[in-house]
A and B are shown apart, each in its own frame.
Chain A
């Protein structure tokens, strides 16, 4: 077990941190972006349920995306990508230049609830914990706002809330799960683009959906974050995308930074010993 503490596949992250064997199944999100209509119901439901303040009403010039980013006060973010590309001429009225049409890619982003969560690993206070559902949660009353989790997250998810000074991100609606309900965003999603459930079930469903789309000729469909062998040991919230991950603002192949931590400590120890030897050596001569 200890072998995969820092990286690699890990079947039961909740069990690994000591929840008894009868802990609930690991749950997560499968976000199928091929049926996202960009309505932002998830963003609104998340803000409402979690009592998150608004971030200001600004125009960003980024298509319909005026949310910009996940942040301490925005835990769902719908990305809008407008792509002009040549399409088959169907004789239909088209937007854009004659031969080009606009293709819309929309995707609702969220915390990935990583199997190996860098935010949790680096948190010095123990504010970030693994829950019995295998998700990653900030305990606000413990967090001292050191901000270490922020640059540690390979997806740029967690952030310090300006109004409280504490770190904050998606909780997967921990208190709704406890009451047997689905997370607010999944409940609000009108197209079932956001699907919530036991992770194993979602992974199987996602595989079927991808093959279905491939059969229909949508060869660009691919899964992102579903693989337990990837750099974060598989994400608890994974996606079906229609283009490269970076197009949606996602890192193509993130790796949990703590994978290299043992090597980092060895190098630091070597350097500290070098410093000690150097200082000691400086005192060898007899001259004052």
Chain B
């Protein structure tokens, strides 16, 4: 038993999250891509890159809608999902998050609808602008959502986690831009590279500062998934640097960076669950020195 002689039959002290796979990891990943894509679309629009703006708007709408879908699907009483908007509670990251996600997905959806139908272009543009301004919050509130729990693997890294998520969101949105708007992909490539670097640096810092619980991100399934994510990020990063000249590199970067972003979310989710299952991670740090 890893719980040490003193734990109660090796049973968990806290309850492991009841959130489901793939719902919640998907929700985390999609929210990130959607957010960063929306800001990318806004800036592309402002700088006259129409194709990139269009790609960003569509990615934002699809990502946000699917993210809402995953969240609702995860509820144990999905018909009551609107209760999420019953109150505004600053102490609840899920309440704050719902109040970010709901307007964002509405605006992103409206922008994409206008883009696709050509109807009400001014309203579409206004929606896209508003969405692009809210969007950066979409890339990091989910980190607070995980960290604001008793789960040692998530709570202990609350300083670094938002930066990991932000980096991963920016690089995956850049990757989407590279895939969808090759002719205007220079800014998207820079996003892919910068985001990947931020993600790798933040993940490294997280690993250093996590203390004892950091081992859940190095061992077992979570460890394997996160190692794969790091390799994918590295390959994607390298490919993005060459993507200006090579189509193969561009596609490889696009695919690898998105796979990496999804794997990062899943690995962190899984590592947190493991840290909740093993009583050691709860008990040992709390024991009087």
Contacts and interface: CB of A to CB of B under 8 A. Distances in A.
Interface of A: 6, 60, 62, 65, 68-69, 79, 81, 118, 121-127, 142-148, 150-160, 165-166, 244, 246-254, 257-258, 260-261, 263-265, 267-276, 278-283, 285, 287-288
B100 to A, nearest CB: 10
Interface stretch (B61-69, B86-94, B114-122, B225-233): B86-94
Interface string B7-20: 11101111111110
Contacts of B44: 283
A152 B17 CA distance: 9
A144 B183 CA distance: 46
B4 to A, nearest CB: 8
Contact of A144 (B15, B49, B77, B191): B77
Given A147-B19, A151-B16, A122 B140 contact: no
25 contacts: A122-B149, A124-B98, A125-B80, A126-B86, A143-B77, A143-B80, A145-B75, A148-B149, A151-B14, A155-B13, A156-B13, A159-B15, A246-B287, A248-B8, A252-B283, A252-B286, A263-B159, A268-B143, A275-B35, A275-B167, A275-B195, A276-B39, A278-B195, A288-B185, A288-B186
Contacts of B166: 271-272, 274-275
B288 A122 contact: no
Contact of B163 (A123, A265, A271): A271
Contacts of B141: 268
Given A257-B148, A267-B159, A275-B36, A285 B187 contact: yes
B14 A268 contact: no
A288 B183 contact: yes
A13 to B, nearest CB: 14
A253 B165 contact: no
The secondary structure that dominates the B interface is helix
B15 A282 contact: no
Contacts, number: 249
A269 B98 CA distance: 16
Contacts of B35: 275
Interface of B: 4, 6-9, 11-19, 35-36, 39-40, 43-44, 46-47, 49, 74-78, 80-81, 83-84, 86-87, 89, 91-95, 97-98, 136-137, 139-141, 143-144, 147-151, 155, 158-159, 161-163, 165-167, 169-170, 173-174, 183-188, 190-191, 194-195, 198, 276, 279, 282-283, 286-288
Contact of B148 (A153, A156, A261, A274): A261
Given A122-B149, A282-B191, A155 B8 contact: no
B186 A79 contact: no
B95 A124 contact: yes
A166 B186 CA distance: 49
Nearest to B134: A272
A259 to B, nearest CB: 10
A250 B13 contact: yes
A220 to B, nearest CB: 13
Contacts of B94: 122, 124, 146, 148
B30 to A, nearest CB: 16
B87 A125 contact: yes
A62 B9 contact: yes
B76 A147 contact: yes
Contacts of A250: 13
A144 B81 contact: yes
Most B CB atoms within 10 A — which of A69, A165, A258, A278? A278
B139 A154 contact: no
B76 A166 contact: yes
B83 A142 contact: yes
Nearest to A280: B43
Contacts of A282: 43, 174, 187-188, 190-191, 194
Given A125-B83, A263-B159, A275-B167, 5 more contacts: A144-B83, A151-B17, A156-B14, A246-B4, A280-B39
A278 B159 CA distance: 19
B150 A152 contact: yes
Contacts of A271: 139-140, 143, 162-163, 165-166
Contact of A287 (B4, B162, B186, B191): B186
B233 to A, nearest CB: 15
Given A268-B143, A273-B136, A279-B39, A125 B148 contact: no
B15 A156 contact: yes
A137 to B, nearest CB: 16
Nearest to B190: A282
Contact of A246 (B6, B19, B43): B6
Contacts of A264: 93, 143-144, 147-148, 158, 162
Given A122-B148, A285-B190, A146 B15 contact: no
Contacts of A288: 49, 183-186
Given A150-B17, A166-B76, A272-B136, A246 B162 contact: no
A152 B148 contact: yes
Contacts of A285: 186-187, 190
Nearest to B181: A288
Contacts of A65: 9
Nearest to A70: B15
